[in-house]
Each structure stands twice: as C-alpha cells, then as structure tokens.
Amino acid sequence: SKENFFFIRGFMILFLSCLTIRVNLCFSSILSLKTLQLDGHFNFDEVHHAARDFGNRYQFLPLAVLHPKSVSDIAIAVKHIWDMGPTSELTVAARGHGHSLQGQAQAHKGVVVNMESLKGPEMQFHTGKFPYVDVSAGELWINILHESLKYGLTPKSWTDYLHLTVGGTLSNAGISGQAFRRGPQISNVYQLEVITGKGDVVTCSREQNEDLFDSVLGGLGQFGIITRARISLEAAPAMVKWIRVLYSDFTAFTQDQEHLISAENKFDYIEGFVIINRTGLVNNWRSSFNPQDPAQASQFKSDGKTLFCLEMAKYFNLDKAEMVNEEVEKLLAELSYIPSTLFLSEVTYVDFLDRVHVSEVKLRSKGLWDVPHPWLNLFIPKSKIHTFAEEVFGNILTQTSNGPVLIYPVNKSKWDNRTSVVIPEEDIFYLVAFLTSAVPSSKGTDGLEHILTQNRRILDFCEKATLGVKQYLPHYTTQEEWRAHFGPHWEVFAQRKSIYDPLAIFAPGQRIFQKAI
Ligand code: FAD
C-alpha cells in the first residue's frame, strides 16, 4: 500500500543517513589520526593481527593500530581522542602480547596500541640493597629474566609462562608457584608510569599519586596505559630442584600444600595439578623427571583415576647442593604422598622458569597452539575447596580435562587490598585454573561447545553453593555481572574510572564500561 511504501522509504532514508554519518565519522577519525606528528606510526590496513588473541574466540577489528616509538606517541594519541570528546566513538586498547582469552586487548573500531613496539628506553638496572629494574611495559618477562641474570639478579614473582608483557600481567595480578611467598607480581612493583584517559603522563608509586598506582595494579587496563614499571629484584639462584609427588586423597593433598605455604623458607615454589584418567602418565614424566624408586614407580598406574600432583621447587647454587638435598629430604618426610610416586629433577633456573615455552614449541609444531582456549580461572576460599573439588572433580570433570587443571593455595597476606584486583575474603585461597584447548569444529567432549558447557556448570555450581569464588582474568558481558564480581569494591572501582578515564576510552574489550557517545 501507499502507506507502507512511505514507511519503508522513510526507514531506508533514515538507515542510509545513519550509515553515511557512521562512515563519515570513521573517515574523519582516520583523517584526524593521520594528522598527528609521531615518532612511530599508525597502521590502518594491517589491523587483523590486533583482532586476535590466545583465546582464539573473539575477533573485533580495530580502525587503526598504533606502533609507538615513544611514550609521547601514546600520550599524543590518547590526548587527541580525549580532546575529540564524547562525540567520537574511538576507544583505545593497549595490546601486550595479546595473550588474553576473550578479546580483552581488542578495540572494536578503535585504536589498538601495540605495546611491544615501545622498545625504549632500555632496561635500567639499579643494584644495591633493594635492587630493581625499570622496564618498558611492552617488554616480555622472558627478556627481563635474561637481562637481569647478567647482573646476577632476578624478579621475585612470576607467571607460569614468560612470553607475556609486563603491562599485561600487571593489569591482572601475575601469579605462579612463587605467589604464596612473594605475593603476585603486582605486589613486587615499586613505581609505574601511566598515561591517563586525558593523555597525561603520570608517575605513581606508594609515595606519589598512590591512588592511581593502586587503581592500575590489577585494574584490567581501565585506568590508564602503563608505559614503564619499576620491578623489584633479588639475587638469582643458578639451579632448581624440581619435585613432583602424587596423592589419591584430596584432603591429604591440600593439607600438605597448606602446610608448605604456611612457613617461610621451605620451598620457593608450590603448585599442583589434577590428573584425570591419564594413561602412561609416569612414563611421560620420565623424559624430565627421575623416579626415586624406578621399580615401584613403573608399577604405578594412573588410568581411570583422579590423582593430585603436588609440585615443589627449591632454588639453590651449586656450592650449597649438599645442604639443599638434606633440607629437601627433611621437608619431603613431613608429607604424606603415595611413596612410590616421588619424582625429582634438577634444572637451571632459566629452564625451570621458561618451562611452558617448551610445551609451546611442541604444540606449535603439531598445529595445536592456535586453537580455541576456553580457559576458566577461579580463586576459591580455602574453607570451600573441598566442596568445590567434590562436585567438580567428582561429578563434572570425570573422564578427561582437555588440558592441565592447576590447583594451588596462596596467602592473602601477600596481596595488597588497596589494588584493583578482586580476591576472596579468606587468609588462604586457591587458584584453580582449567587450561583447556578445544579441537576446532569437534562436536565431541574435546569441542568448544562441550567445554563451554562444562565451564558453565562449574560456575553455576559455585554460584548456587555460594562458595565465595572470584574469577581470575575475569570475563563478564554485562555491568550487572561486573558489579557482582567487584561486590563492595565496585563503588571505588567506578569512582576511580570517573577520575582517571572519564570518557571510558580504555580497554573496551573488558566490557566493564561503555564510552558514552
Ligand atoms: P594482553 O592480552 O595483550 O592484555 C591484557 C589486558 O591488559 C588487556 O585488557 C589490555 O588492554 C591490558 N593491557 C596490556 N598492556 C597494558 C598496558 N601496558 N597498560 C595497561 N593495560 C594493558 N597469568 C598468570 O597470572 N599466571 C600464569 O601462570 C599465567 N600463565 C599463562 C599462560 C599462557 C600460555 C597464557 C596465554 C596466559 C597466561 N596467563 C597467566 C594470563 C596472562 O597473564 C594474561 O592473559 C595477560 O593479560 C597476558 O599478557 P599480555 O601481555 O598478552 O596482555
């Protein structure tokens, strides 16, 4: 009818006008970015890489990728976007090594800052009583390790995998088996240089601009772009005794883990993992570990069972090898693992810290690295870890785990509750990390859908049973969920956002705040 015709025509005109406005906005954004005088450069064509991450599930194309050569390049770009005000759609995401899981370092139609391009200034070491190093936030931890060792020094707290950037891990927390003793990486930083949402370059620490310092640590990239960090160092050991033992009893396993993290000067690293129905496990370990009792160990069968592996490490220098052997023997005598399952190894400090990279090389060679990674990382209060394990390892994950399942406790006293990271309200809490890989296009138990359903079941159980669990490397899609995640800390988090990034320019991929346009 005539009415319909006019209605459709009107709708089409409106739609095309909106489209034209959007395309014009896009062009004017590109044009305006092109006018900026930078040491580095923008790339408007090769932007696909910035729309990918380790999770391999989310892909949001940015409008441009900034390859900064200097801190001022980033400040100029952010200031420019700030000056455009709320009329511009542009957002900014710092991209470290892009090892996020759900697009957290991506910026749909925005600007991605490739932090690894920011090479300078060179690492500056300060030796002395409290040694530290000043590094660019786009630096990989593996490079910091190698450089520090030239001075006989090392950072104190790590992640399991070192091919991650300083800015990326400090925006979360950065944890590994050293955290029970040293705290997370965010507890081992003295000072940061940050570019705020207005394009200001600000130095912050416990002594100077403390609120910004706390905001940014564990701040999920919401308050600014970290451009430089001052990281606390200590004397580096040469060697590591690396030990694994097995338990079939979860209570004995956690009791021993908690015993080991309760006192200083025991092991330097405590982790653990769950083994679900694995065949030939002990044989697989033999390439890198020696069973203390080879005959007994070869009788041990892991298939069909759920087992818990306690992993410990003790650092040492060769002149103290004898003494360390005695200490380790004494410590092991306090534990109640299955006696035939003691496995020992001695490796260099670098080989120990860079151990996951060995797996990366193997997986890459088999084409199994660039697959979807529907990981789930949870912090679970100590008082609820048995309830959690009973349901998750007893009912939900019984046949296979589709990847490692880490489980280890840390001491809350080593975390600073002024920072932005959210952790459970108990003195000891566990990290449980389901580090799954999905087989692309599989519809079976190793497929993405199945693993995501399993993750959902785990999260639903935690919620129903009110376990007080918090996600680590959190991922939510609505602000309601984020509010629940932060709980009583939400007000402070939102207030800090309004101070340091009032237009909500930064890290849109976290989906916490939306730029008001
Ligand atoms: P990206 O993925 O690039 O960025 C992560 C977030 O931080 C994004 O929101 C981004 O915008 C923001 N960001 C990045 N750089 C900056 C900056 N300079 N300033 C402000 N914001 C910034 N984590 C642990 O704690 N312990 C582990 O043992 C551990 N092991 C891992 C092993 C593997 C194989 C992988 C893939 C990840 C692991 N992680 C671990 C998680 C890892 O710490 C996070 O995913 C981290 O964010 C990755 O660092 P990235 O440099 O790739 O950051």
Look up residue 353 and give its two tokens: 């810290």
- C-alpha distances out from residue 89 to 166, 186, 266, 461, Å: 28, 32, 53, 39
Q: How confident is the model at residue 470, as a pLDDT?
A: 98
pLDDT of res. 10: 64
What CA–CA distance (Å, rounded) separates 276 from 405?
A: 9
Could you tell me the distance, in angstroms and rounded to a whole number, from the CA of residue 298 to the centre of ligand 1? Answer: 39
Fold assignment, 36-236+476-517: 3.30.465
Rounded distance, CA 5 to CA 98, Å? Answer: 49
Work out the number of other CB atoms within 10 angstroms of the CB of residue 168: 26
Contact 285, 300 (CB under 8 A): no
- The Cα 465–Cα 374 span in angstroms is 23
Domain positions in the chain are 1-35, 36-236+476-517, 239-472
Helix (H) or strand (E) holding 497: helix 490-500
Which of 52, 71, 92, 100 gets mutated to test ligand 1 (max ligand atoms within 8 A of its CB)?
100
Q: Is 179 in the pocket of ligand 1 (CB under 6 A)?
A: no
Domain pair 36-236+476-517 / 239-472, same fold = no
Both structure tokens of 172: 């979360």
Give the single-character DSSP code of 146: H
Give yes or no for residue 379 CB within 6 A of ligand 1.
no
In order of 54, 155, 300, 381, 408, the CA distances from 164 in angstroms are 11, 14, 37, 27, 21
ipTM: 0.99
Q: Output the pTM of the full model.
A: 0.95
Phi and psi at residue 472, to the nearest 5°: -100, 145
373 Cβ closer than 6 Å to some ligand 1 atom: no
Residues of the chain with pLDDT under 70: 1-27, 265, 517
Distance of CA 310 to the CA centre of its chain: 22
**Distance of alpha carbon 410 from its chain centroid, rounded?**
16
Active site residues: 99, 160, 271
Contact between 168 and 97 under an 8 Å Cβ cutoff? The reply is yes
Q: Tell me, using a 6 A CB cutoff, whether residue 401 lines ligand 1.
A: no
Q: Specify the amino acid at residue 426.
A: E
Nearest CA to ligand 1 atom 5: 168
* Separation CA 219–CA 137 (nearest Å): 15
> Three-class SS of residue 362?
helix
> Residue 340: which of 303, 297, 306 has the closest Cα?
297
Give the span between the Cα atoms of 423 and 428, in whole angstroms.
10
Is there an atom of ligand 1 within 6 Å of 360 CB?
no
- Superfamily per CATH, domain 239-472: FAD-linked oxidases, C-terminal domain (3.40.462.10)
User: What's the confidence (pLDDT) of residue 382?
Assistant: 98
Q: Name the amino acid, one letter, at 24.
A: N
pLDDT in tens, 43-89: 999 999 999 999 999 999 999 999 999 999 999 999 999 999 998 99
